[in-house]
Structure 1
Amino acid sequence: MPIAEDPEPRPSEGREPGGSDPSEAGGKDPFADLVLDEDFIKSASVKEQSGRTRMLAARWRHTPPVDPGGRRSVNDGPEKAKRRFGRKPKLQVVDPWGNPRPPRRRRLEWRAPLFVVLTVAVLLASLNIDGLRTWYADHIGGNGSSAAPTPVPTVAPETAKPTTAAPKVDEKQPTVGHPWAGSPAEGWPNGAEAFVLPEAKATGVFSADQVAAQLQLVKDYLTAANLDPKVIAGGRPDAALAMLDRDERDRATAALANPSKDTDATSWFSRFDPREAIPVGDVVKVQGRISYEGDGDKGVLVHTDFSFVYPLRPGPEAGKRAGSPAPSAGAPQPTKPASPQGGGTAKPVGLVVPVDDVSGDTWTTRTVVRRVENFRFYDPGRYPANPKKLVIADGTTSDSANSACDVYDGYYHPQFDQFAPALPDSPDVRPTGPETDPYDRSKDLSAEPGGCGSVSRY
């Protein structure tokens, strides 16, 4: 089939050497010598994007990406920290991958002083093994066991006469660190806390306010005569004497000045000779009750019945009474020295160690004093008595446990286990009186003195 030819021949495209210039500029084609090699590609100013880049760009035009946060790069620079509470902001350091670096730990510069202190403490402890053993016995337990001792239940002040004796407790040797060990008085009230006054009511010629003042006067007297630390340590009971009526004060003053078997100051006041016995602390355990009634003559009669337990340690001359006479029933003593508890850590020291430098495991003792006292307030309209002073009425008596027998010098003289000799079997030395329990308050206190006896506990 014939092909129609162009009416005019095609112009030369200038590709052949020496061909014509289609631009009719009369010049050579600028792309004639162009070579598409590696250098041409590297020097290109515009580069074609990759397929993944074009795909992501098309997607992000409709759904922009969301920054999850938490990651940073080195191009972001350090994060600008916020200032809080006026403190200098801390800059967060990141690694080359943009992850935050943990802060460097400060040097533990406190370790060196701590090691020095511990070294010194260990050295001092090694130089004082006995003191360390004493501290361990006082704070943890002398028997090497961490088990706490059985606590003695707290006992409230009496409101009526008890029907039974105080319950038994574990027998333990009392020490300076534990002066109430082995005593039921450990749970008793401290000092004047036991003096609970009954409700005051009008009685006889006295109004309720006057009766309340009389009861308070009795309480103050009991405190001054039995709980004043200076009086207990052997001082003169001036405060208690000032509360007595003139005749009573004269009799008490005579007993202090010239004590004898019939007029002994211990029947009035609780005092110990400081050369033999020194109180351990200021706490005295007390149990008892106060009551009152009309005296039948328009006056008031106040009844008191209290037991006082005094913890004591040896004085500088405590060992001199090791061979003193046996105790009496009116002043009973322990039948035998108590066995030390806790593996023998308690030391029977007295004169071996200065009394002003005794340790917590020094053996101590206790003296139990029971006083039954009656105070009478006469009708001032019928009797020349001062209603603001105390008059001792009939039925007043006292008893003491753990005090030397047949010693009447105005002081109690307790026996310490570390100085108590073994009692021989001679009938002249053995106790002749019955054994008594000073903690049995269910029994009435006898006004008749008995022979030399012993106590079941103290």
Structure 2
Amino acid sequence: MPIVEDPDPRRSEGSDPDGSDPFENLVLDEEFVKGATVKEQAGRTRMLAARWKDQPPVDPGARRTVLDPTPARPKRRLRRAPAPVDAWGTPRRRGRDLRAPLFVLLTVAVLLAALNLDGLRDWYRGTRGGLPTSAPSVAPETARPGSAPPSLAAQTPTVDHPWAGSPAEGWPAGPGAIELPPAQAVGAFDADQVAAQLKLVKDFLVASNLDPAVIAGGRPETALDLLDREERDAAVRGLDHPDRAADATSLFSRFDPRDAIPVGDVRVLGRMSVEGDGERGVLIHTDFSFVYALRPGPEAGRPLPGSKPPASPRPAAPETSAAAKPVAWTIAAKPAAWTIAVAEEAGGSTRTTRTVVRRADTYRFYDPARYRNNPKKINFAEFRGDVANTACHVQDGFYHPQFEQFAVPAPPGGQTPHGPATDPYDRSTPAPVPDPSAGPECGTVSRS
């Protein structure tokens, strides 16, 4: 029907005035699509075109576009020079700047060196002298070595590194360093009895030289219980009333805690052997070196009582027992034998020292069928040995090591070393034979 906008009646769709259909022979194939002269735009394209008529798009500069090939200018941060870019505006990759890490490493190295000046000095000495700075590991001895341990670069021992510069650094430590030889039947004793005797001797060595309480100045009750009656009486006399004829250090390694405090473990090197003693029984020979690392006690460096040697040798006490014989070793000390304190707080020092005690003693076990004795207790046949780094002519039942940081030349009238210089680590020669009439010697040691 006619409408306002279209008053004329419309022709039916798809018909010409002459009544024919113009699309009757139209084929919508690929050729028809390719030959189209007008193409419909996508809906999003028409929407964006309508929007951009009033609000043209703005390029944020985050990417390059075909419309604006000029690259965005790089931003400048923290007043640094802008990163270089190539012709397309891509930042060029810089090489790594190693200055900052190197500066940090250098600062840390300087701080560590400042905190450990002694270690830095020791390292410098070692590199100059060409000597090794650490000792090789050493197994327990099975026979006497052929030479002394090699020399090491001079180093300053500290609480953290008490064995620096010492051959004992590579020695075994603690009771495990005392190995027992194979037990065989000897004389009146069968193999099991000899094995028990060897273990008894080891127990005594451990109780008298490796017990931390004894080393720190305690009374060696466990070791005393292993001695036969006469030997025990003589040892107690050396503990309660020490003098040159009977001093506790002839059997026990003890340090006065006012002077020296043990640090860490004890390094041990040596050997044991068994020998028949004819009709009397069995002899067990021992030769061990015990090395103790020590830090200063609260009174380290102060004058010791009785530091002057006696005017003439005192006569030896009657030989009622082997343990009552004069101390049978050379006492070696460094040149400044007597020292005085040069620091207000001696115990606050971190530098340490070492004392080397060599004991080459012989133990006798009598045949119980011929002698009245307790076969499960210890008797002594001979004492040998020496001590490096202890005060000379001081018999008070303790060792008194010297600390270099508190040492000054001895005052007038004080004791000065006069004995030969020895290497306390040299075990290639037999332990010295004592001369009771001459008294203890006061010599020097080549190293400690």
TM class by shorter chain equals: 0.5 to 0.7
* Shift, 1:181, TM fit: 1.4
Quick check: 1:236 aligned with 2:216? Answer: no
* Shift, 1:194, TM fit: 2.3
Counterpart-to-counterpart distance in 2, 1:385 and 1:130: 67
Quick check: 1:202 aligned with 2:185? Answer: yes
When the two structures are superposed, what TM-score results if normalisation uses the length of structure 1?
0.64
* Shift, 1:134, TM fit: 7.1
Q: 1:305 corresponds to which residue? A: 287
Aligned pairs for 1:411-426 (under 5 A) are 411-422=398-409
Quick check: 1:433 aligned with 2:419? Answer: yes
* Shift, 1:290, TM fit: 0.1
CA contact (8 A) 2:334 2:417 kept: no
Could you say if the C-alpha distance between residues 134 and 225 of structure 1 is closer, same or farther in structure 2, counting changes exceeding 3 Å?
farther
Q: 1:280 corresponds to which residue? A: 263
Counterpart-to-counterpart distance in 1, 2:189 and 2:28: 122
Q: 3-state DSSP class of the match of 1:160?
A: coil
Aligned pairs for 1:200-279 (under 5 A) are 200-279=183-262
* Shift, 1:267, TM fit: 0.1
CA contact (8 A) 2:330 2:387 kept: yes
Counterpart-to-counterpart distance in 1, 2:158 and 2:203: 31
Letter in 1 for 2:224: L
CA contact (8 A) 1:264 1:408 kept: yes
Letter in 1 for 2:420: P
Q: Which deviations, in whole Å up to 9, do the C-alpha atoms of 1:374-401 show, x marking residues without a partner?
A: 11111111111111111111x2133211
Q: 3-state DSSP class of the match of 1:319?
A: coil
Counterpart-to-counterpart distance in 1, 2:379 and 2:384: 14
Q: 1:60 corresponds to which residue? A: none
CA contact (8 A) 1:205 1:298 kept: no
Q: 1:165 corresponds to which residue? A: 148
* Shift, 1:34, TM fit: 4.8
Equivalent residue for 2:441, pick from 436, 439, 451: 451
CA contact (8 A) 1:306 1:371 kept: yes
Letter in 1 for 2:380: I
Could you say if the C-alpha distance between residues 52 and 313 of structure 1 is closer, same or farther in structure 2, counting changes exceeding 3 Å?
farther
Q: 3-state DSSP class of the match of 2:204?
A: helix
CA contact (8 A) 2:298 2:345 kept: no
Counterpart-to-counterpart distance in 1, 2:251 and 2:217: 13
Counterpart-to-counterpart distance in 1, 2:183 and 2:225: 24
Range 377-386 or range 316-325, more displaced: 316-325
CA contact (8 A) 2:343 2:406 kept: no
Could you say if the C-alpha distance between residues 385 and 154 of structure 1 is closer, same or farther in structure 2, counting changes exceeding 3 Å?
same
* Shift, 1:422, TM fit: 2.7
Q: 3-state DSSP class of the match of 2:146?
A: coil
Counterpart-to-counterpart distance in 1, 2:216 and 2:177: 21
Letter in 2 for 1:380: P
Unmatched runs of 5 consecutive residues or more in structure 1: 1-28, 54-125, 338-348
* Shift, 1:428, TM fit: 6.8
Range 438-447 or range 268-277, more displaced: 438-447
Quick check: 1:367 aligned with 2:355? Answer: yes
Counterpart-to-counterpart distance in 1, 2:207 and 2:396: 20
Q: 1:385 corresponds to which residue? A: 373
* Shift, 1:364, TM fit: 1.0
Counterpart-to-counterpart distance in 1, 2:415 and 2:148: 29
Could you say if the C-alpha distance between residues 294 and 35 of structure 1 is closer, same or farther in structure 2, counting changes exceeding 3 Å?
same
Aligned residues: 330
Q: Calculate the aligned-residue CA RMSD, in Å.
A: 3.6
* Shift, 1:372, TM fit: 1.2
Quick check: 1:331 aligned with 2:331? Answer: yes
Could you say if the C-alpha distance between residues 456 and 151 of structure 1 is closer, same or farther in structure 2, counting changes exceeding 3 Å?
closer
Q: 3-state DSSP class of the match of 1:297?
A: helix
Letter in 2 for 1:253: V
Q: Which deviations, in whole Å up to 9, do the C-alpha atoms of 1:157-206 show, x marking residues without a partner?
A: 11112232222111222111211112111111112232111110111121
When the two structures are superposed, what TM-score results if normalisation uses the length of structure 2?
0.65
* Shift, 1:249, TM fit: 1.0
CA contact (8 A) 1:203 1:298 kept: no
CA contact (8 A) 2:134 2:165 kept: no
Which has the higher Rg, Structure 1 or Structure 2? 1
Counterpart-to-counterpart distance in 1, 2:289 and 2:213: 19
* Shift, 1:438, TM fit: 1.2
Counterpart-to-counterpart distance in 1, 2:446 and 2:280: 44
Letter in 2 for 1:258: H
Could you say if the C-alpha distance between residues 155 and 52 of structure 1 is closer, same or farther in structure 2, counting changes exceeding 3 Å?
farther
Percent identical across equivalent pairs? Answer: 53
Unmatched runs of 5 consecutive residues or more in structure 2: 1-13, 35-106, 310-326
Q: 3-state DSSP class of the match of 1:189?
A: coil
* Shift, 1:240, TM fit: 0.5
Counterpart-to-counterpart distance in 2, 1:246 and 1:322: 33
CA contact (8 A) 1:371 1:397 kept: yes
Q: 3-state DSSP class of the match of 2:360?
A: strand
